[in-house]
Copies of this chain bind each other. A is one copy, B any other.
């Protein structure tokens, strides 16, 4: 199995594995291998996964729905260490397994990405990033996106510097682009948001899942998830099919990842994560509401046209009120 390990082609954030660099790997059979981060972080993340997986106060429904399943740690020979110097990896469910054309977004949650008791230099470094990016202002920042076109297979993936420089309008646009089937242009924003109803809206959509997650964060005082991300994933083809008349749910995935800076909650809720989550919910809710308004306006317009045609053909003696 180890011989089939390869960097995930849909990776949108973090270091990419290569012949001289460690990075995450997938086995193509549903597992994801994340090399332990340097220093204490890697050990801290592995310890979090071990503790969280067994914590009796975490509702199984929350753990199963919103966290990758943890399969322990494993020493692996890696492309970066071919000569028998195995490196420890955290083994997790591959969150995008089974999606032939995965569309991914990585959103780092929280206005503040540093645990309150961090040393000053680390605070200064993180604070600068939080203020340069949208974290401080919006309570989250988009760390990575990848969108595949269901038709032609073209991939849209803005580079890291582009994402870092993004302002509020840019975030709004990228969240619309994530559920659009075209690239858009300068006028208006030209994005069709054709998949918004299937991916963001509906029963199993992103919005419903985020609201479920929010309900847990309003109560849970076990952990504070500094610098963690929410990963969205959907399949371009499945979402397109779900968007067609009569289509079902799009199998949308919403998962928390990146736990190198998780803190003990000590009886206090994670107000930093919760605030950012509520902000993200508002952004996505606004997109869903706008798409619904457009659909309604379209229907109203078409109804009016049909009535006018009937009136012009003489079916009515006066134009019916729309």
Q: Mark A residues whose CB is within 8 Å of B.
A: 111-112, 116, 123, 127, 131, 136-139, 168, 218-219, 221, 266-269, 271-272, 274-276, 278-279, 282
Within 8 Å CB of A131, what residues of B?
A: 116
Q: Given A112-B112, A131-B116, are A271 and B138 neighbors across the interface (CB < 8 Å)?
A: yes
Contact between chains at B282 and A278 (CB < 8 Å): no
Within 8 Å CB of A139, what residues of B?
A: 268-269, 271-272, 275
Within 8 Å CB of A112, what residues of B?
A: 111-112, 136
Contact between chains at A272 and B269 (CB < 8 Å): no
Q: Given A275-B271, A275-B272, are A282 and B168 neighbors across the interface (CB < 8 Å)?
A: no
Contact between chains at B268 and A218 (CB < 8 Å): no
Judged by DSSP, the binding face of A is helix
Contact between chains at A274 and B268 (CB < 8 Å): no
Contact between chains at B279 and A268 (CB < 8 Å): yes
Measured CB to CB, the closest approach of chain B to A230, in angstroms, equals: 14
Within 8 Å CB of A116, what residues of B?
A: 131, 136-137
Max chain B CB contacts within 10 Å: which of A136, A267, A275? Answer: A275
Contact between chains at A278 and B137 (CB < 8 Å): no
20 additional A-B pairs beyond A112-B136, A139-B272, beta carbons within 8 Å, are: A111-B112, A112-B112, A116-B131, A116-B137, A137-B268, A138-B271, A139-B268, A139-B271, A219-B282, A268-B279, A268-B282, A269-B278, A269-B279, A271-B276, A271-B278, A274-B275, A274-B278, A275-B275, A275-B276, A275-B278
Measured CB to CB, the closest approach of chain B to A219, in angstroms, equals: 7
The 5 closest A-B pairs by CB, nearest first: A275-B275, A271-B275, A139-B271, A116-B136, A271-B279
Within 8 Å CB of A111, what residues of B?
A: 111-112, 271-272
